[in-house]
Structure 1
Amino acid sequence: MMYAHRWSYEHFVAPIPDGLTIDHLCKNPGCVNPAHLEPVTLVENIQRAHPLRTHCHRGHDLADAYVRKNGQRMCQKCRTVRYWEKKNASKGKQ
């Protein structure tokens, strides 16, 4: 079994290199137009789908964001606040 957009790219353009996935440049997942498809790494595909934000949902600047192994950025200030909240909550349970 092969997804239609992958078949379209391979049939009309070229084989998809190993380790790459197909990005829909038009952002329409049902599109099979080979001109709208591009092979990219999974990380790049995810980053394109979720463009980099400049601020977290609490308004903190993400310029010094913590980057997880999967490439996801986390607000360093929110991460610190969560750490201290957990630490203080565990002290109250003792």
Structure 2
Amino acid sequence: MNAVNPLRLRAFIAQVDTAAGLDACWPWRGHTNPDGYGIFGKSGGGAHRVAYQLMVRPIPDGMSIDHTCHNTDTTCPGGIECRHRRCVNPTHLEAVTQRQNLLRSRHTMPHHNAAKTHCRQGHEYTPQNTYSRRTPKGYARRECKTCRRERLGSKAAQ
């Protein structure tokens, strides 16, 4: 476990609403950034990240902190109105890759695209019928092999 500065922990906890109990979300009462996330300290770090570091463990390099309470709440509107962005309950936070974080939230395009089982023309995405590639920016892309064959065949016929 990392050494925790008790004064920093006390200052952090003073800005947390734990009245709803151990299992509930703990809303951040301090300042928030324009995206609705709590901020703490001189550096303006994410309060949820600070909570994880203070009460769980250091965040591994390259990892994001996911609000697991957000992933199970079907009534959450998402975006800057999402109340889970202010949650700092350490039992609601998990260190995951950015990809996992995006795929878990039903408010993101990667989540919606990963859930698609068929291409626009109705062909099923199966390992045999799907090209998988990365764009120059590193984004994952799927392409239907049947549609690609049809498209390339129509170009050859012209």
TM-score by length of 1: 0.66
Q: Indicate how the Cα distance of structure 1 residues 20 and 79 shifts in structure 2: closer, same or farther if over 3 A, else same.
A: farther
Matched, 1:20 2:63: yes
Aligned residue pairs, count: 89
Deviations 1:25-56 (A, max 9, x none): 12233322111111011222223231632223
User: Aligned to 1:62, what secondary structure does the other structure show?
Assistant: coil
User: Aligned to 1:75, what secondary structure does the other structure show?
Assistant: strand
- Spell out the pairing of 1:1-94 with structure 2 (5 A cutoff): 1-27=44-70, 28-49=84-105, 50=111, 52-53=114-115, 54-64=117-127, 65-69=130-134, 70=138, 72-77=140-145, 80=148, 84=152, 87=155
**Larger-gyration structure (1/2):** 2
Mapped to 2, the partners of 1:8 and 1:42 lie a distance apart of: 18
Structure 2's unaligned 5+ residue stretches are 1-43, 71-83, 106-110
User: Aligned to 1:17, what secondary structure does the other structure show?
Assistant: coil
What fraction of aligned residue pairs are identical, expressed as a percent? 41
Structure 1's unaligned 5+ residue stretches are none
Q: What is the Cα deviation at residue 77 of structure 1? A: 4.4
Computed over aligned residues only, the root mean square deviation of the Cα atoms, in angstroms, reads 3.0
Q: What is the Cα deviation at residue 73 of structure 1? A: 3.9
